[in-house]
Amino acid sequence: GIQVEQSPPDLILQEGANSTLRCNFSDSVNNLQWFHQNPWGQLINLFYIPSGTKQNGRLSATTVATERYSLLYISSSQTTDSGVYFCAVPKDGGSQGNLIFGKGTKLSVKP
Amino acid sequence: SQTIHQWPATLVQPVGSPLSLECTVEGTSNPNLYWYRQAAGRGLQLLFYSVGIGQISSEVPQNLSASRPQDRQFILSSKKLLLSDSGFYLCAWRTGTITNYGYTFGSGTRLTVV
């Protein structure tokens, strides 16, 4: 089955710094999602981004489907950005919407 | 508005006891629903999904079962819990269209089997 790898596994930033999180996937996909899980466990869907670039405030994401990777950019990080960031892709073509998650990047933003 | 409810938030159960976790959604009809488990160490594993009433697909053979008795209700159950069933259980619902969709997750149930 498709493999999803995220890097780095852990990241510590000073407030105000920028960062780039990477997601590699082993097979072609028609969908890719980025999620943020806050320290209390709540998962929030950040982006649906099968290809191209999207921006939402200080966050943006780029997926290069032909090269099988996606990047999540966080600019001017804030302490509230702390948590775990996951990327996820559909399993087996994805018609049912089943997702395979990467293991995540744990981000800690220090004041 | 569209919302998803999951309860209880925390549960401590002895080994061998039964389990029932409930998830309901509001503001939509015929949603695709999912149960995920997150063990310590972060990864999310898909357990079950459902595309309609009474339709359940299992992704991983295990001690758990799922049911969908109503359109907007998804239940995760076990007859006898094992220590290995401990984890953070999340219900999710796919939103949007078939070509442009996202996911809304419930707030999760943290289950500890003792």
* Domain of residue A86, CATH code: 2.60.40.10
Closest residue of chain B to A101, computed from CA coordinates: B44
| Number of domains comprising chain A | 1
Domain that holds residue A57: 4-110
The per-residue pLDDT for A96 is 66
| Number of domains comprising chain B | 1
The per-residue pLDDT for B36 is 94
Q: Give me the count of residues in chain A.
A: 111
pLDDT tens digits along B3-61: 899 999 999 999 999 999 999 999 888 889 999 999 876 789 999 999 999 999 988 86
Nearest to B105 among A31, A43, A102 (CB): A43
Whether the CB of B108 is below 8 Å from some CB of chain A: the reply is: yes
Q: Is the pLDDT of residue A47 over 80?
A: yes
CATH of residue B71's domain is 2.60.40.10
Domain that holds residue B42: 3-113
Does A41 sit within 8 Å of B110, measured CB to CB? yes
A81: nearest Cα among A21, A6, A7: A21
User: Cα A107 vs. chain centroid, distance in angstroms?
Assistant: 11
A15 Cβ partners below 8 Å, 6+ apart?
A77, A78, A79, A109, A110, A111
Q: Is the pLDDT of residue B65 over 80?
A: yes
